[in-house]
Amino acid sequence: MKYAKYFLFVGIALIGLSSNTTRTSGLSSEGIYPGNLFPDIKNLENKSGTKMNLSDLKGQKILVNFWAAYDAPSHKDNVLFANVIENKKYPVRMVSVSFDKNESVFERTLTMDRIDAKYQFIAKNDAYSSLYDHYQLRKGFKNYLIDENGVIMAMNLSPNDLDQLLKKN
């Protein structure tokens, strides 16, 4: 009987200790899937040479769109996302990161598409491969809708999906 009480006490103590170690502070962990905190993208450079970090836009809803002019579906979606956000006046900042290897192609594409170039960036040199690998873009370009706290709300949206989601929020 004495041993049973001892084992019961030790068991309860261990359960109590282990439950405290699994609690989080309520913050999502960083990652690339809905519910995760979106990792900061640093030193983005736009057409005019202005640099910024994605974290500079914290407090705003952001659509991060990875694309390239040579990839017709992602290029088309980049234009359509910009049009949906602008025409419906949604309170969302679109940040696009192009993976075009030729900067002049990137610049000409922005001019032809008539998209505000302020938040259109090109991944250069080291950023190209690190972003490409980190966001697993070998399987295709992706996009992420991020809330004001930096948490991924949705990913791989079509322009129509984005419109429907923003109408609800």
Domains along the chain with CATH numbers: 40-50+59-168 (3.40.30.10)
In this prediction the pTM is 0.81
Which candidate, 42, 37, 64, 38, places its Cα nearest to that of 53? Answer: 42
pLDDT of residue 5: 59
What is the tens place of the pLDDT at every residue in 12-34? 544 544 444 333 445 568 899 99
Separation of CA 118 from chain center: 18
Cα–Cα distances in Å, from 157 out to 79, 101, 119?
Answer: 14, 25, 19
Cβ neighbors of 144 (< 8 A, separation 6 or more) are 32, 38, 63, 64, 152, 154, 155
Residues 98-149 pLDDT 10s: 999 999 999 999 999 999 889 999 998 767 788 989 999 988 999 999 999 9
CA angle 47/154/33 to nearest 5° reads 90
Strands 143-146 and 61-67: antiparallel
